[in-house]
Amino acid sequence: MKRWLRVAIPILILALLIGWRIGQKRAEVAGQTQQRAARMKAPAVVSLAPVQIRDVVHTFGATGSVEAPLSVKIAPKITGRIVFLEVREGDRIRKGQMLVKIDSYEVEANVQQARAALAENQYRLAQAQIGQNPADVAVNTQLRQQKAAKASAQADYNQASKNYEAQLVAATANLTDADSRIENARASITGAEANLTNAKTRYARVDSLHKQGYIATQAVDDAKAAVAVQEAALEIAKGQLKSAGAQKESAQQQYNITKEKGKADVEAAKAKLEQAQASYEYALANTSQKSAYRQSIEALKATVNASKAALESAQARRRDTALVSPLEGFVTGRYADPGAIASPTQPILVVQFVKQVWVTIAVPEEVCAKIHLGQPATISFDALPGRIFDASVVQINPSADPQSRQFTVRVIMTNKDDLLKPGMFAHVAVETERIRGAVVVPREAVRADRSGSYVIAAGRDNKARRVSVTPGVEDVEFVSIGDALKPGEKVVTMSSFPVREGQMLVSGGGRGRGSKGRPGGARAR
C-alpha cells in the first residue's frame, strides 16, 4: 500500500501541473488572438512620400588625374654654355619671355664675319657693274677686284688662323680646368675616406668603452653620428667627382669641336685665298675677253647671294642662343644650372600651360556609345572638398584598350584661378542619359511579389490600396512608374509591419526623399 502511494502521488502532482500549464497556454493564445485582432483593426504607422514629376539623370562616374594640355620641353638647337637661367619650378612665365641664354661669343663672331663677307662681295659686285661698259676700265677694275679679293682672302686666312689659335687656347684651358676639378674631387674623396676611417675607428673605440661602462651612451651616439656625417661627406665627394668627370667630358667634346671647326675654317680660308690668287692670275691672262668679264659679274652676284644666305644662317644661330617660352604657364621642371653645357638632346626646362586642364578617364564600351564631344561633365577633387567644377568632353579615343575593353575619354575645364595642378586626383561625372518629366516615386516605395511590382498608395480616406506598377528608368533615389499614379498622391516608403489592403494609414512623422539628388553616380534633378 505504501509503495502504491509513493507512485500515485507523484503521478497525480504531475497531472495537476500539466493541466495547469495547458490552462495557462490557452489563456496566452486567447490573449494573442485578441491582440492580433486589435492590431488588424488598428491603423498602420507608416512613412509617406509624394509621387513627383522629375528629370531622371544617369551619370557615369570615374576617376583620373589632372593633366596639362600643353607641356613643352625647352631645349637648345645648338651646343653651348648656359650663361642665363633664373626661373625655377613653380615660377609663372609669359609667352615670349626669355628663359635661357646660351653663350653667343662664337656665334656673334660668325655673324660679324658673314656680314663682312657680304659687304665685301656687294662691293665687288658694285665695282664690277660700274666698270662693265668700257673694256679697258673693265679690265683694270677686274684686276683691282681680284687683287682686293686676294688681299681680303689673305686677311680672312690670317684672321681664321688667329681665331683658331685663340679658341684652341680657350678650349685647352677649359679642359685643364676640368682636369683640375677631377683631381680636386679625387682629393676630396681621399680625405673623406680618411675621415670616415677615423670616425669608424673612434666609434669602435667609444663603443667598446661604453660596453665596459667607462663612458656615457651620448658619446656613442655622437661617434655614430660622426660616422654617418663622414659617410654622407664621402657620397658628396663621389658625386662631385662624377660631376667633374661629366664636365671634363663636355670640355673634351668642346675642345674637339673647336679643334675640328678651327681647322676647317683655316682650310676654307686657305682655299679661298688660293681661289683668289687663281682668279687674279686668270684676270691677268684674260684681259681682252669681255665674255669672261660678264661671267665674272654673274659669279659675283652668285657670291653675294651665297653671302646673304650665310649671314641669315649665322643670324638664325644667334637667335637660337636665346630660348623663349612658346606659351604662358608655369615652370614644372628644371634640369640644368648656369655654367652647364647645354646640348640639343638635353632639355633644360619644362613649361606647362594650365589655364585649361584635362582629366583622362577610362569608359566601358557600353557607356562610351552614350558619350559625344561637347557633352557636359562635372569634376570634384578630394583636395577641394565641397567644390564642383563644370567641364566638357573634348576627346574620345575611337580605339578601345584590347585588355580592359575600355575607351579613353578626356574632359577639359578652365583653370583661371590656378587652383588645379597637374597630378591632382579628380572624380569625373559625365551625364549619359536624361529622362525629362518622368513620374517617379522613391525606390524604397516599390515592392515586388509573385504577382509583380506594386506600391502601397494612401487614398483620400487614408486607407491603403495596392497599385500595380511597371518600374521604368531609375537612378539612385527614384524610379519611374508611368501613369499608374498621379503626381501629388502619396505612397508608403516605410512601415513597422506589413500593410494590408484597406488598412488605415497614419503618418509616423517620417518623410520621403526630397528633390535634391545625391552627389556622384546617377542623380535626379
Mean pLDDT of 393-405: 90
| Phi, psi dihedrals of residue 484, rounded to the nearest 5° | -65, -35
Q: What would the grid cell of residue 400 be?
A: 578601345
Q: Between the CA atoms of 477, 482, 487 and 488, what dihedral angle is there, to the nearest 10 degrees? A: -70
User: Residue 379 above 50 pLDDT?
Assistant: yes
Q: What is the DSSP letter of 494?
A: E
CA distance 394 to 463: 54
| Tens of pLDDT, residues 250-287 | 778 877 887 787 778 778 887 887 888 887 777 666 55
Amino acid at 375: Q
Do the domains 105-319 and 71-102+322-350 match in fold?
A: no
Mean pLDDT of 378-407: 90
* pLDDT for res 524: 33
User: Residue 519 above 50 pLDDT?
Assistant: no
Does domain 71-102+322-350 bear CATH number 3.40.50.1220?
no
Render 104-171 in DSSP notation, one character per residue. Answer: -HHHHHHHHHHHHHHHHHHHHHHHHHHTSSSHHHHHHHHHHHHHHHHHHHHHHHHHHHHHHHHHHHHH
Q: Which listed CATH number (1.10.287.620, 3.40.109.10, 1.10.8.60, 1.20.120.1200) goes with 105-319?
A: 1.10.287.620
User: Residue 523 above 50 pLDDT?
Assistant: no
Bridge-based pairing of strands 44-50 and 505-511 is parallel
Does domain 352-432 bear CATH number 1.10.600.10?
no
User: Residue 393 above 90 pLDDT?
Assistant: yes
Q: How far is CA 428 from CA 65, 142, 365, 375, in A?
A: 10, 79, 17, 12
Bridge-based pairing of strands 425-442 and 406-414 is unpaired
Mean pLDDT of 353-367: 89
Q: What would the grid cell of residue 116 be?
A: 663682312
- The rounded percent of the chain whose pLDDT value lies above 90 is 9
Domain coordinates of the chain in residue numbers? 44-58+435-524, 71-102+322-350, 105-319, 352-432
Mean pLDDT of 127-154: 70
CA distance 344 to 337: 16
CA distance 420 to 413: 10
Which of 17-26, 32-41, 132-141, 507-516 has the least mean pLDDT? 507-516
CA distance 34 to 64: 63
* pLDDT for res 41: 55
Q: Which listed CATH number (3.20.20.140, 3.20.20.70, 2.40.420.20, 3.40.50.720) goes with 44-58+435-524?
A: 2.40.420.20
Find which of 107-111, 159-163, 373-377 is predicted with most confidence, using mean pLDDT. Answer: 373-377
| Tens of pLDDT, residues 67-88 | 888 888 888 888 888 889 888 8
* pLDDT for res 360: 92
- The rounded percent of the chain whose pLDDT value lies above 70 is 88
CA distance 316 to 163: 22
